[in-house]
Amino acid sequence: MERCVTALVQPGAALDGVRPVNISRDLPGIARLIEVCFGDRLDRAGQSAIAEMRALGRSGALVRVLALLFRNLPGWQHGFVCERAGRIVGNVGAQAADNGPDTWLMANVAVHPDYRRLNIASDLMRAALEHAQRSGAVRAMLQVDEDNTAALAMYARLGFHKLTVRTLWERRPTPELPRRALLPDGIELRHAQPSHWPQEKMLLQSLRAEGITWTAPMQVDTLRPTLGRSLQNLLDGRGEERWLALSGSEPVGWFYIARALGGPDQLRIVAQPQWAAQLYPALLTAALARLGRRAWVLGLEHPAGDGDDLWIGHHFRAVRTLRWLGLNLSAAR
C-alpha cells in the first residue's frame, strides 16, 4: 500500500489522493470511517453527528444548497479526505470556530486501520492547515485523547503545543436532588446580569483563557450577554443561566447552565484556586438545584484532575479526557 499523495486532486476526480470533501457524495463514507475508527469512543454528540452525516448524505445535491445558505453547517464542507480505489480511507474535518475566522478547529482526524503508518493523517492535516491559512486563520486547534500517544507525537511534529487538558463528564437523570452545600462565609451568589459581565470576563480570562467551550476556544467574549444572543437562544430553544460568586466586589467563582431543547444540558464551573475546595460543592449543588429533575443527561467539561472526587460523588461519570492542542499559523507561514 502507498501513502495518499500530498498533491491535491479535485473533488470527484478519479485519482487516488488527498482532496477536498465533496459533501454531496462523501458524507456516508466519512460516517462509516469515523465509526470504524472511533466507534467505541463516540459520545452522544459524536453519535448524533454520525446520524446527521448520514441524513445529509441521503439528501444528495441538496446539501450543497444548504452549505451555501447556512455558513454554520458543520465543518465537513471544509474538510479533506484521502481516497484509495474509490474508497475513503482518511478524513479530517475543518471549520472556523464560533468566535471568528481567525481560529480554525480540526476534528475527526481518522485513518482506516488497514491504511495506517503511511503518513495519511499528516498529509490530511497539512492540506487542512493550508486551507485554513488561505481562509485567514492565524491559529488552529484540535482535541486528542490524552492516551493517544501516536497522535500526540504526530501533532507535535506538525508544531502543535498543549493548551489544556479537559475531562468530559456525564450525569444521568437521578430522582433525588442533592442537599445544597453552604457557601463560605462572606461569599454571595448572584444571578449574573449584563452589568456583571466585566467581572465575569475578568474571572474567565484569568482561569479559562483557553475557553469555556471547544467550539469557541481562546475567546470568552462569545458568552457576553447581548440582545442578539438572547434572540438566538430563543430561536434555538436554548436557555442559559450564569451565576457569579462574589467576595465583596471580587469575583471568586461562577457557574453556567445551558438547557437544550431535547438535551443534553451543559454545566461549567469555575472558582479561584484558593476558593475551589469550598466553592465547588456550593456551586455544583446550586446548579443541580436550578436544573431540577430534568430528563436529560447533564454534561460537564472541566480541567482534568480538578474536583474529580466531587463530580463522582454526585453521580458524574468520566467519558473522555482530551488534550487541547494549538498551532500558531502566522508563525508557520
d(CA 139, CA 96): 10
Classify residue 210 by its DSSP letter. T
Give pTM, 2 decimals: 0.82
- The alpha carbon torsion through 110, 115, 116, 119 (nearest 10 deg) reads -90
- Given CA atoms 155, 13, 10, 20 in this order, what sign does their dihedral have? negative
**246-300 per-position pLDDT tens digit:** 999 999 999 999 998 877 899 999 999 999 999 999 999 999 999 998 888 999 9
Which of the four pLDDT bands, split at 50, 70 and 90, describes residue 24?
Answer: confident
- What is the percent of the chain with per-residue pLDDT over 70, rounded to a whole number? 81
**Cα 64 to Cα 166: distance, rounded to the nearest angstrom:** 35
Q: How many CB atoms lie within 10 A of CB 144?
A: 20
Torsion angles phi and psi, residue 6, rounded to 5: -80, -25
Q: Given this model, what pLDDT does residue 1 score?
A: 41
Per-residue pLDDT for 64 more than 90?
Answer: no
Q: Which residue has the cell 457557601?
A: 183
Using an 8 Å Cβ cutoff, are 315 and 171 in contact?
yes
Cβ contact 106:142 at 8 Å: yes
Over residues 199-210, mean pLDDT: 92
Domains located in the chain, CATH noted? 1-137 (3.40.630.30), 169-325 (3.40.630.30)
pLDDT bin (cut points 50, 70, 90) of residue 11 is very low
| Average pLDDT score over residue span 74-78 | 62
> What pLDDT does 52 receive?
65
- Check residue 76 and give its pLDDT: 56
Task: Determine whether 109 is exposed, middle or buried from the number of CB atoms within 10 Å of its CB (0-12, 13-18, 19+).
Answer: buried
pLDDT tens-digit profile of 131-166?
999 999 999 999 999 999 999 999 999 999 999 999
CA distance 241 to 251: 16
